[in-house]
Structure 1
Amino acid sequence: MKKHAVLITVLFALAVTLVSVSAVFWEFYKLNKHQYIDHIFSKHETITQIYREHLQKNTSQIMLEANLAVYKFVIENDENEKKRILENSKLLKHKNFKRVDEAIMLNNQGLYTQKVVRDLRISMVELSKTIYFYIESPIGSVMIQDEELKPYKYYSIAYSYLTIILIISISFVLILQRLRPLIRLRRKIALFGNGDMNISFKTSGSDEIALVSNELESTREKINSLLDSRTLFLRNIMHELKTPIAKGTIATQMLRTTKERDRFSSIFGRLETLVEEFALIEEVTSVHDKSDFKEYRLIDIIDGAIDMAMIDRSSVTIDIDAMPKLIVSYRLYTTAIKNMIDNGIKYSPDSHVKILIINNELCFESKGECIAHPLQYYIEPFTKENPSKNSFGLGLYLVDSILKVHEQVLAHEYDNGVNRFIFA
């Protein structure tokens, strides 16, 4: 997910925006519909007034229908139809109120006014896009249809909602289109980091992403130029050093005494070893293309390392079966294992190294005292445990550099008199 953080952020923003806009329009739709229903429900006052006068004056049904017809209200007289409407309609709103009827009465004391309070209930219902008002009273009920009144229509709100959603979607599509060069740039940077030094970041355009791409292209060219100069310089230096070393080795044989010959042979031999190690360091640090990495059996790599170390095989115990395989550079990985074998034999009192697999990790065990410093100290160039040893202190530095090329690390642990170096 981290590789697509920007894209995920944009999509998340789009989702939040769409949900927020949808929620706002939904609330607006409900509010607008509620206001519309409240507005048309106000017509019940006219209906109630007409119906009340009908009850008070006890007028005929024809007179009631005539009074309602003035406002284009129609009474539904079919009882079966009325029942069907009540069972299948959707209740929009209802209201309870009291109706007060007054009548003049005569008793022994004379005339008096009698007030009768009756409960009324009016409901507004909708069926098949038609609005009905249903009035219930203690003495009867009536179903009235409003011929002019139409149900609430949401088309205008839906049109506005879809228009805004379309605008937002198009805007985010345009944003994603603008981010596509950034995605391509990320892929190119990944390829460059994996060793493709010839990939081009150059692009046309004048926006921010194009400017960054062109700056990266300029930086890539400078890096390639520096790497080429460095490689050429190191190779020339090593080539120039090998010639006097070879001449010195030959001239050593002309010395008169054996002691002098051995001393100078040792000096030139160490110089030649140092040049070879420098050449290997240059090779490791300049590895960018991993196309030569192939699959090898681990046991074959270890056998090649032992042959390279030119040691007696009895000095190495191998506790590894033939199954494990690695995708590595054969030359570099055998060099790393060879250095670990040399290191174990050189610093262990019994001059013996055991190679085994623990928790799917390659381990090198040798007896001896625990190293005096943290491992980080020994993987720095030109550091070593014992200055009297015939070494330049580049062994573990080379091992660590080779493992980094193979996306591994060198680790160390000490257990009951055994130093264990681990390729993790």
Structure 2
Amino acid sequence: MKHHAVLITVLVALIVSLVSVSAIFWEFYKLNHEQYINHIFTKYTVITQIYREHQQRQSSEVMLEANLAVYDIEMIKDEKQKRTILTKSKILKREGFKSFNTSLMISEKGMYTKNTVTNLRATMLEYKKAIYFHIETPNGDILIRDNDLKPYSYINILYTYATVFLIISLSFVLVLQKLRPLIRLRKKIALYGKGNMNVSFKTSSEDEIGSVANELDKARRKINNILESRTLFLRNLMHELKTPIAKGTIATQMLESPKQRERFTSIFKRLETLVNEFAMIEEVTSLNDKKDFSEYRLVDIIDGAIDMAMVERESVSVDVPADVKIQANYRLYTTAIKNMIDNAMKYSTDAHITIRINEEGELCFESKGECLKHPLQYYIEPFTKENPSKNSYGLGLYLVDSILKAHGQVLAHEYENGVNRFIFA
């Protein structure tokens, strides 16, 4: 979901827009239809007046038809047709009302006015695309067909709705088309992040996404050049340093003074260790993916680290179940554990370290000693010292932290009852 947030947002916007437009047009259609029905329904008053006059004067049906024909209204006289229409037609509107009629009357007492109230009901019907009016009175009823009026047509509204619907849909299709380069760019960036340094972001497009892609390609080339220069520099530096270190180590053995020989041997050994650590750091920082990772038993990695540290087995207590396995780069992870052993041998008060798995399933390194005087972050920096009178921490913890980050872990520290506890969390 998160990888397609923009696409999903666009689709949701499209759906909301289309639903909103559809709802608006539906409400407009209902309102317009109702107004149309109400407008043409008013014609029943003319029909009612003609029919009432016909009843009052008791004129002939010929006269009634003639009066209705003036308004292009046709009376349905066939009873069978009339029943069919009344049965099968659709009622558009029906309304009951009272008709008031005033007439002048003469009696023995003289002239007077007589008011007559008649209950009427008018029904507007639709049958086979024609409009009919059914007028009912206490004295009878009449069904007429209005040839002027046509049923409500929704074609214009449907045409307008379809046009708006199509325009919105096409607009969103164009937006999605513009987003396609962004999706391709995201995939290329992912490939670059996985270590494919030759992937190209360059594009011929001149829009905003194209500009971003071309700038990314420029940045990619610069980063590649910097990485190549750094790698070449480190490799040449380490190669050039190893030769004089080897020569210096050989020359040291020719010194007659044991004190001087021991001092220079320590110096060259330290230089060789630093060169190897630099090489390891270069390897860690160049680790782009986990293709070199495999599953190993943790006890096997710890055994390899003890051998690499060249310490007595009695100096290391291992309390790790044999069935615990991890995905790791064997050489790098072994180096990280070896550095933790070296660190304990150097700074613990009894030159002993315990390696175990805690309750959270994390690898712990415990050794007796004084509590760290600074936060752990201080010691992760290269070449920091706990005490100027002692040797530098060098690149040991910095290298451990870098290796753990490459494995998706972090280095943590806690102090309890005179014991320093470093944790691979």
Q: Contact 2:386 / 2:392 at 8 angstroms: preserved in 1? A: no
Per-residue deviation at 1:227? 1.2
Compared CA separation, residues 49 and 238, structure 1 to 2 (3 A)? same
Shift of 1:289: 4.6
Aligned to 1:410: 411
Kept in 2: contact 1:414–1:420 (CA 8 A): yes
Greater shift in the superposed pair: 205-214 or 239-248: 205-214
2:422 is matched by which residue type in structure 1?
F
Q: What's the TM-score, normalizing by structure 1? A: 0.89
2:413–2:423 CA contact under 8 A, matched in 1: yes
Determine the structure 1 residue equivalent to 2:183.
183
1:234 alignment counterpart = 234
The change in CA–CA distance for 1:95 and 1:345 in structure 2 (over 3 A counts) is farther
Counterpart mapping for 1:136-215 below 5 A: 136-215=136-215
Equivalenced residues, count:
423
Is 1:55 matched up with 2:55?
Answer: yes
Q: What is residue 359 of structure 2 aligned with on the other side?
A: 358
Asked if structure 1 preserves the Cα contact closer than 8 Å seen for 2:378 and 2:384, the reply is yes
Q: Is the 8 A contact 1:356 1:364 kept in 2?
A: no
Give 2:75's aligned residue: 74
Corresponding letter in the other structure for 2:187:
R
Deviations 1:165-197 (A, max 9, x none): 222222222221222111111111122122221
The 3 A distance-change label for structure 1 pair 299 and 65 is farther
Residue 115 (1) aligns with residue 115 (2): yes
- 1:118/1:358 CA distance change after superposition, 3 Å: same
- TM-score, normalization by structure 2: 0.89
Structure 2 residue matching 1:212: 3-state secondary structure: helix
Name the structure 1 match of 2:386: 385
Q: Quick one: distance in 2 between partners of 1:84 and 1:338?
A: 100
1:130-162 Cα offsets, whole Å, 9 max, x none, are 433233434444443335533212122212222
The amino acid of 1:34's aligned partner reads E
1:6-17 alignment, distance < 5 Å:
6-17=6-17
Q: Which residue pairs with 1:348 in the alignment?
A: 348
Q: Residue 384 of structure 2 aligns to a residue in which SS?
A: coil
> Offset at 1:129?
3.9
The match for 1:133 is: 133
Q: Which amino acid aligns with 2:263?
A: R
Q: Which residue of 1 aligns with 2:225?
A: 225
The whole-number CA distance in structure 2 between the counterparts of 1:151 and 1:289 is: 72
In the alignment, the residues of structure 2 paired with residue 196 and residue 17 of structure 1 have an alpha-carbon distance, to the nearest angstrom, of 41
Question: Which residue of structure 1 lines up, in the alignment, with residue 376 of structure 2?
Answer: 375
2:283 matches 1:262:
no
Q: Where does structure 1 differ by over 6 angstroms across 4 or more consecutive aligned residues?
A: none
| Contact kept in structure 1, 2:348 and 2:369, CA below 8 Å | yes
Query: CA offsets per residue over residues 245-276 of structure 1, 9 Å max, x none?
Result: 22222222222222222122112211211111
Question: Are the counterparts in 2 of residues 74 and 147 from structure 1 also a CA contact under 8 Å?
Answer: no
CA contact (8 A) 2:99 2:120 kept: yes
In the TM superposition, what is the alpha-carbon distance from 1:281 to its structure 2 partner?
A: 1.4
The residue aligned with 2:4 is 4
Partner SS, residue 202 of structure 1: coil
> Structure 2 CA distance, aligned partners of 1:347 and 1:208?
57
Mapped pair 1:281 → 2:281: yes
Question: Secondary structure in 1 aligned to 2:199?
Answer: coil
Three-state SS of the structure 1 residue aligned to 2:126 is strand
Q: Aligned to 2:26, what secondary structure does the other structure show? A: helix
Equivalent residue letter for 2:400: V
For residues 377-404 of structure 1, the C-alpha deviation after alignment (integer angstroms, 9 at most, x for no partner) is: 1211112333444444322111111122
Partners of 1:416 and 1:108 in 2: how far apart? 131
Provide the C-alpha distance between the structure 2 equivalents of 1:415 and 1:141, rounded to a whole number of angstroms.
105
Q: Which residue is 2:336 aligned to? A: 336
Are the equivalent residues in 2 in contact too, given 1:320–1:357 (CA < 8 A)? Answer: no
Distance 2:409 2:291 in 1: 18
Once residues 136 and 394 of structure 2 are traced to their aligned partners in structure 1, the CA distance between those partners, rounded to angstroms, is: 105
In 1, the alpha carbon distance for the partners of 2:54 and 2:345 equals 119
State the distance in 2 between where 1:367 and 1:198 align. 50
Query: Residues 85 and 127 of structure 2 are in contact (CA less than 8 Å); yes or no, is this contact kept in structure 1?
Result: no
In 1, the alpha carbon distance for the partners of 2:85 and 2:321 equals 86
Asked whether the 8 Å contact 1:104–1:114 carries over to 2, the reply is: yes
Partner of 1:31: 31
Identical-pair percentage: 66
Instruction: For 2:92, give the aligned amino acid.
Output: L
- The answer to whether the 8 A contact 1:344-1:353 is kept is no
The answer to which of 271-280 and 165-174 deviates more is 165-174
Q: Offset at 1:341?
A: 2.8
Check conservation: 2:82, 2:143, Cα contact below 8 A.
no
Cα gap change, 1:15/1:113 in structure 2, threshold over 3 Å: closer, same or farther? same
Moved more, 352-361 or 235-244: 352-361
- Structure-2 separation of matches of 1:272 and 1:85: 109
Asked whether the equivalents of residues 355 and 363 of structure 2 are also in contact (C-alpha less than 8 Å), the reply is no
Q: What is the CA–CA distance in structure 2 between the aligned matches of 1:140 and 1:416, rounded to whole Å? A: 111
Change (3 A) 1:54 1:364: farther
Structure 2: tracts of 5 or more residues without a match: none
Shift of 1:356: 0.7
Instruction: Give SS of 2:198's match.
Output: coil
Give the deviation of 1:292 after TM superposition. 2.0
Q: Is the 8 A contact 2:120 2:135 kept in 1?
A: yes
Bigger shift: 186-195 or 129-138? 129-138
Mapped to 1, the partners of 2:13 and 2:358 lie a distance apart of 49
Distance 1:232 1:329 in 2: 23
Q: 1:189 to 1:54 in 2, by over 3 A?
A: same
C-alpha distance in 2 between matches for 1:295 and 1:367: 32
State how far apart, in whole Å, the 2-side matches of 1:339 and 1:84 are.
Answer: 100
- Flag the 1:46–1:418 CA change in 2: closer, same or farther, 3 A: farther
What secondary structure does 2:115 align onto?
A: strand
Seen in structure 2, the aligned counterparts of structure 1 residues 345 and 264 have a Cα distance that, compared at 3 Å, is closer
